[in-house]
Amino acid sequence: MSSQLVGVHVGSGLTADNQVEDGGVLARAAEVDAAVVQVFLADPQDWKAPKPRPDVDALTASDVALVVHAPYVLNVASPNNRIRIPSRKLVGQHATAAAAIGAAGLVVHGGHVTGKDDPAAGFDNWRKLFQRQAGEGGFGVPVWIENTAGGDHAMARELEAVARLWEAVGEFGAGFVLDTCHAWAAGWDLETVVEDVRAITGRIDLVHLNNSRDEAGSTRDRHAPLSSGEIPTELLLEVARTAGCPVVLETPGDAASHAAEIALLRETLG
């Protein structure tokens, strides 16, 4: 049997007033037989800091592995002080909250600069984040940077950009999350993507295994179920198999469809 952890993104598992909803994260994990779940600790479209979770004891005691996804609004790379500085602060807050629930890592999108900015500034801003945090004793949890689907001035869309990013942050132990829908949208070759990424970063810490509603190179980030998108299912399964690390589904669907996708992955990886 494969030792790879397989699971799904489950949201926060909390109500708007920070109460456990319908059994919470662990109930959702059990419903789909997930060994790992990815969660939000706050509204992903907001700048608010995470609140202490009422289910922290249950989460830390559980055998289910946890991954935290930082809010989408973050843009550590931005040369705009009004965006970059709050982004740095929120990464630190989410890292602290992720450590409190025993999470394996914190996923952060690579971000971007605007068309009038030199991309070098964005890579340098990422370096400064890790450098500053290293001077303060670290984040408390590994920070994993995720590749993105679009944007001409993105820090992690093109493999060449990822290489420049890793020149800036690799020495600080930054991790990498490979999103297959994003990679497909950016025009990466999924037949060689694991080898291509590892040649740059030396690691892949997590795979977001998602199909795509759009053609290769579209730059559109529209996820599809594992077996019904533009990416051949066998190609996605091969990426998961070759990566050899935990796999989280961010595919649309209900609990039954996610349970079926997890079962297919386990059968394949086994």
Q: What percent of the chain has pLDDT over 90?
A: 92
User: How far is CA 264 from its chain centroid?
Assistant: 21
pLDDT in tens, 48-96: 999 999 999 999 999 999 999 999 999 999 999 999 999 999 999 999 9
Q: Considering only CA atoms, which of 112, 123, 105, 100 is closest in space to residue 38?
A: 105
In the block, which residue shows the tokens 């930082």? Answer: 70
Count how many residues are written for the chain. Answer: 270
Q: Which domains are present in the chain? A: 6-269 (3.20.20.150)
CA distances to 10, 47, 152, 249, 267 from 32, rounded to whole Å, are 10, 30, 37, 11, 15
Side-chain half-sphere CA neighbours of 49 within 13 A: 11
Quickly state the pLDDT bin for 270 (edges 50, 70, 90). Answer: confident
pLDDT in tens, 111-164: 999 888 899 999 999 999 999 998 788 899 999 999 999 888 999 999 999 999
User: How far is CA 107 from its chain centroid?
Assistant: 4
Question: Which stretches does DSSP call E strand in the chain?
Answer: 6-9, 36-39, 65-69, 105-109, 143-146, 175-179, 206-208, 211-212, 223-224, 247-249
Terminal C-alpha separation, the chain: 5
Query: What SS3 class is residue 91?
Result: helix
pLDDT at 226 over 70: yes
Question: Which stretches does DSSP call E strand in 40-163?
Answer: 65-69, 105-109, 143-146
pLDDT at 171 over 50: yes
C-beta separation of 262 from 32 below 8 A: yes
In the block, which residue shows the tokens 């949201």? Answer: 11
Give the C-alpha separation, 257 to 270, whole Å. Answer: 20
CA angle 73/98/129 to nearest 5° reads 55
Q: What is the pLDDT of residue 105?
A: 98
Burial 116-152 (b: 16+ CB within 10 A, else e): eeebeebbebbbebbeebeeeeebbbbbbbbbbbebe
Query: What SS3 class is residue 65?
Result: strand
